[in-house]
């Protein structure tokens, strides 16, 4: 695992995957005098209903349509059945049906005691993910992301093993927890750490050959460096104005002394109510793109109720990433698009997909995600997450590998390298998968000079902040933050959304620049970035409360992060995808 940081969890969704009606017809070559009706291959499926009261009616539909009900599955309010491909389509469109998924076969796994899972056969392991996309081919060619910084706008990164070998530094903390020294920069929610581990996790620095030979825990681009910008608090709450401020900071400080931010990972999105041409969040990512930063954004996890991509994935310049289910096989021929994944429309759909189900990443002990989803833990270090958030982190790692190989490549060229030769699969429509599953081997063989230059209508950002929030709002004293106000109560003005020193939108927030001497886990501050005294844009702080508002960052409420739930094999939310 898109509006107030409700978008972060949006990317994280659990749920069964959709079985596309893709089995072909077997036409028998019968003698002329004995023509036969073509036989239709049957599908073994699991049908899950929204509640148990609907099971009998849907079972009756299966029988009336020539299918066979095989076994009751009360735990998912459903049953297994053998049905025709046409009936799969009918069932998916039937009221009360949550999902129709393949009843797949499995295999025994040899659990690595050091990890707690089988690194080669568990489809959620990063080793398995890399194999499906041929990521190791980049490592064998010497490309591990070295020298490339990936900005991660999320809930911060925790100092857990796998992210403590020197390739994580802290940017400004723009979250509601920034006033507290014990949690400043740290991930108290659990989402940012999961993303960072997928992008650049490693237990120790090594050589490309060592990474290739290892079956240990290793992210997509283990030598890339994460620049963490924390915007989400312990419950995942954040306003879209904080996310925009973080994007603005990345765009302006990407190449400060000691920094080389080439990629921005945004596993976040909102259900914006306005056109991407007007939307201020869309405007922010487009400005970062025009400044040379490859922006990788999650498509969103509201696929069961919404076709349109989340904001800002709807911006046509950025790389909009959808999730796919590899079905426990390295090849893409049987891959599916999970029901939770937003796909888009004919006008704007996902650009590519990457594995996004049951992904194993590092957990943050006692974080919100960890406490609320104990069944998702694997071994002592990991937790599973399903969603377009994870798929986005995978593609951000790939972008870092290509940025290392082609240091002068433009964002348009990196996007083309990723999308031009992706691997399409037959069981999903093209608008559901874009050009298909990312194939790093094919990307490495392309010449960026052949990439076309993107040319879309420029975004103005002159829409409303409230429209960008969509249905995601943080609460202050129980009152939703709405309208054209940022978290400080300042009137929103797109003309003031450029950082000037530590000022953004007329308010002093945080640092003025990058100071390599203080960037790191031991002294994670920015030159001039510590909040001055107890004041935050003129609002005084007393202890752990916001003056006159009685606000405690540890219990800041958000009606947009409590989404669906983090379950045994994933977590879901309407904003963090």
DSSP 520-538: SSSS---TTTSPPTTEETT
Q: Phi and psi (nearest 5°) for 73?
A: -130, 75
In the chain, DSSP finds a helix count (H) and a strand count (E) of 15, 23
Q: Between 1.10.260.40, 3.90.25.10, 3.30.70.80, 3.40.50.360, what CATH number should domain 41-102 receive?
A: 3.30.70.80
Active site (annotated) includes residue 154: yes
Q: Phi and psi (nearest 5°) for 375?
A: -70, -15
Task: Specify whether the CB–CB gap between 340 and 10 falls below 8 A.
Answer: no
From the candidates 77, 112, 137, 154, give the one annotated as an active-site residue.
Answer: 154
Interatomic CA distance for residues 289 and 208, integer angstroms: 29
Task: Specify whether the CB–CB gap between 408 and 402 falls below 8 A.
Answer: no
From the candidates 48, 197, 389, 575, give the one annotated as an active-site residue.
Answer: 389
Active site (annotated) includes residue 191: yes
List average pLDDT for each run of 10 residues in the chain, which is 577 residues long.
Answer: 38 29 26 38 84 92 94 88 89 88 65 80 91 96 98 97 96 91 93 98 95 90 98 92 95 93 96 96 97 97 88 97 92 90 93 96 95 90 94 98 98 98 92 96 98 97 95 87 90 76 69 42 32 25 24 27 30 48
Where exactly does CATH 3.40.50.200 map onto the chain?
6-12+111-450
Determine whether domain 6-12+111-450 maps to CATH 3.30.390.50.
no
Q: What is the pLDDT of residue 500?
A: 66
Map residue 449 onto helix, strand or coil: helix
Q: What is the pLDDT of residue 303?
A: 81
Interatomic CA distance for residues 575 and 558, integer angstroms: 11
Q: What is the pLDDT of residue 542?
A: 24
Q: Phi and psi (nearest 5°) for 494?
A: -60, -25
Active site (annotated) includes residue 412: no
Task: Specify whether the CB–CB gap between 571 and 8 falls below 8 A.
Answer: no
Task: Specify whether the CB–CB gap between 291 and 254 falls below 8 A.
Answer: yes
Positions of E strands within 249-376: 261-266, 294-298, 319-324, 352-355, 359-362
Task: Specify whether the CB–CB gap between 350 and 488 falls below 8 A.
Answer: no
- Cis peptide preceding 312, ω within 30 of 0: yes
Locate all alpha helices (DSSP H) within 373-526, ordered by sequence. 388-405, 411-419, 430-433, 440-444, 465-469
Task: Specify whether the CB–CB gap between 278 and 462 falls below 8 A.
Answer: yes
From the candidates 191, 194, 349, 473, give the one annotated as an active-site residue.
Answer: 191
Dihedral (C-alpha) 234, 238, 243, 244: value to the nearest 10 degrees?
A: -160
Q: What is the pLDDT of residue 307?
A: 86
Residue 213 corresponds to which tokens in the numbers above? 């030979």
Interatomic CA distance for residues 485 and 256, integer angstroms: 30
Crossing angle for the helix pair 191-200 and 388-405, to the nearest 10 degrees: 40
Where exactly does CATH 3.30.70.80 map onto the chain?
41-102
């Amino acid at each position: 695992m898109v509006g107030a940081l409700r978008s972060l969890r949006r990317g994280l969704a659990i749920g069964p995957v959709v079985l596309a009606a893709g089995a072909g017809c077997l036409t028998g070559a019968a003698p002329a005098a004995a023509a036969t009706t073509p036989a239709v291959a049957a599908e073994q499926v699991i049908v899950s209903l929204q509640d148990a009261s609907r099971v009998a009616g849907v079972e009756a539909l299966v029988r009336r349509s020539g299918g066979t009900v095989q076994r009751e599955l009360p735990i998912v309010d459903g049953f297994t059945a053998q049905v025709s491909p046409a009936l799969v389509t009918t069932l998916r469109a039937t009221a009360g049906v949550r999902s129709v998924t393949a009843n797949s076969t499995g295999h025994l796994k040899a659990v690595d005691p050091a990890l707690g899972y089988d690194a080669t056969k568990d489809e959620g392991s990063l080793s398995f993910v890399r194999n499906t996309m041929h990521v190791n081919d980049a490592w064998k060619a010497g490309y591990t992301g070295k020298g490339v910084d990936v900005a991660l706008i999320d809930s911060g990164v925790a100092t857990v093993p796998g992210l403590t070998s020197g390739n994580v530094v802290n940017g400004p903390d723009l979250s509601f927890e920034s006033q507290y020294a014990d949690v400043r920069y740290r991930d108290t929610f659990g989402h940012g750490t999961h993303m960072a581990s997928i992008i650049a996790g490693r237990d120790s620095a090594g050589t490309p050959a060592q990474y290739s030979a290892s079956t240990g825990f290793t992210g997509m681009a283990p030598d890339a460096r994460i620049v963490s910008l924390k915007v989400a608090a312990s419950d995942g709450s954040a306003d879209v104005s904080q996310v925009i401020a973080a994007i603005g900071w990345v765009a302006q400080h990407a190449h400060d002394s000691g920094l080389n931010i080439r990629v921005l990972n945004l596993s976040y999105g909102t259900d914006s109510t306005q056109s991407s041409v007007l939307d201020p969040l869309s405007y922010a990512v487009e400005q970062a793109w025009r400044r040379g930063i490859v922006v990788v954004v999650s498509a969103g996890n509201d696929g069961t109720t919404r076709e349109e991509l989340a904001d800002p994935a709807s911006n046509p310049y950025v790389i909009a990433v959808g999730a796919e289910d590899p079905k426990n096989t390295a090849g893409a021929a049987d891959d599916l698009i999970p029901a939770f994944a937003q796909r888009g429309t004919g006008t704007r759909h996902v650009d590519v997909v990457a594995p996004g189900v049951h992904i194993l990443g590092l957990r943050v002990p006692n974080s919100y995600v960890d406490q609320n989803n104990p069944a998702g833990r694997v071994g002592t270090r990991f937790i599973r997450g399903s969603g377009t958030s994870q798929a986005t982190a995978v593609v951000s790692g790939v972008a870092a590998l290509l940025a290392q190989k082609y240091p002068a490549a433009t964002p348009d060229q990196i996007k083309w390298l990723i999308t031009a030769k992706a691997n399409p699969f037959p069981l999903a429509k093209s608008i559901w998968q874009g050009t298909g599953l990312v194939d790093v081997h094919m990307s490495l063989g392309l010449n960026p000079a052949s990439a076309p230059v993107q040319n879309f209508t420029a975004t103005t950002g002159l829409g409303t902040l409230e429209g960008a929030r969509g249905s995601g709002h943080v609460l202050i004293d129980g009152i939703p933050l709405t309208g054209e106000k940022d978290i400080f109560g300042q009137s929103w003005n797109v003309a003031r959304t450029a950082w000037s020193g530590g000022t953004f939108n007329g308010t002093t927030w945080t640092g003025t620049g990058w100071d390599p001497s203080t960037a790191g886990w031991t002294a994670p501050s920015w030159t001039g970035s510590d909040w001055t005294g107890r004041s935050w844009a003129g609002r005084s702080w007393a202890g752990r409360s916001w003056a006159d508002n009685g606000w405690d960052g540890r219990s800041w409420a958000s009606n947009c992060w409590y989404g669906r739930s983090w379950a045994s094999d994933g977590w879901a939310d309407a904003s963090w995808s």
